[in-house]
Amino acid sequence: MTILEECVSVLIPARNESATIGAVVGAVLQNLPQAEVLVVDDGSHDGTGETARAAGARVIRHSLPRGKGAALRTGFKAAQSQLVVTIDGDGQDDAADLPALVEAARGGADLTIGSRFLGRFEPGSISLPNYLATRAFNLLIYLRNGTQVSDSQAGVRCYRRSALEALDWNASEFEVETELLLRFLQAGCSIREVPVRRLPRRGGQTSFQRIRLGVRILQTIIRGRAP
């Protein structure tokens, strides 16, 4: 597969997001009209993949749910560009922020994180337990790695493919952002954060299981890799 140096791939992992995925794909194409938009349908049963394809995305489907980390791994392998942007399929990330992430990556960053804490949370966009947990995870990562990151759990990011492919990671679920951040930190890669806006969910239901997946994230930080 030929990797396109100057182009951008936008990778959207999604499971049962038919209520929002069409709008997400449309917003991505509006803000990055030349981008390859790739949706990995992680075993949805509600027509997520069909809706994404109708909106203009290239779709790869897992026949059974395998987790967000597995969906990202599938998408990274299939993406055709050197810069790979990730954005969630629930519509809570503002696609208008994506050009700023791409600009930072083209300025030399190996990993660009869209920080909601440097930007803003719109009312209803995050629960208090999730807000506090993310703050705690940020602090733990700083204490263990000596690098301060304002939003370790952000899903909207831009990865430089050459840096990503040099890393070893095995996360299969929502701890994927944590493990990838740790791998980039440990490798001494260039990391930047840019402010982004977090929106309230406008349809569907989250598949994030707060306690179980929170424990997996915590284990990832303590062990230095995913469980």
pLDDT tens-digit profile of 41-64? 999 999 999 999 999 999 999 999
Burial class from Cβ neighbours inside 10 Å (0-12, 13-18, 19+) for residue 93 reads buried
Helices (H), the chain: 21-31, 48-55, 68-78, 98-106, 128-145, 161-164, 176-186, 210-223
User: How far is Cα of residue 126 from the mean position of the Cα atoms in its chain?
Assistant: 16
Q: Can you name the CATH fold of 4-223?
A: Spore Coat Polysaccharide Biosynthesis Protein SpsA; Chain A (3.90.550)
Burial class from Cβ neighbours inside 10 Å (0-12, 13-18, 19+) for residue 211 reads exposed
Q: Where are the domains of the chain?
A: 4-223
pTM exceeds 0.85 for this model = yes
- Indicate the average pLDDT of the chain: 92
Strand partners, 37: 10
pLDDT tens-digit profile of 88-135? 999 999 999 999 999 999 999 999 999 999 999 999 999 999 999 999
In which residue are the tokens 């140096």 written? 5
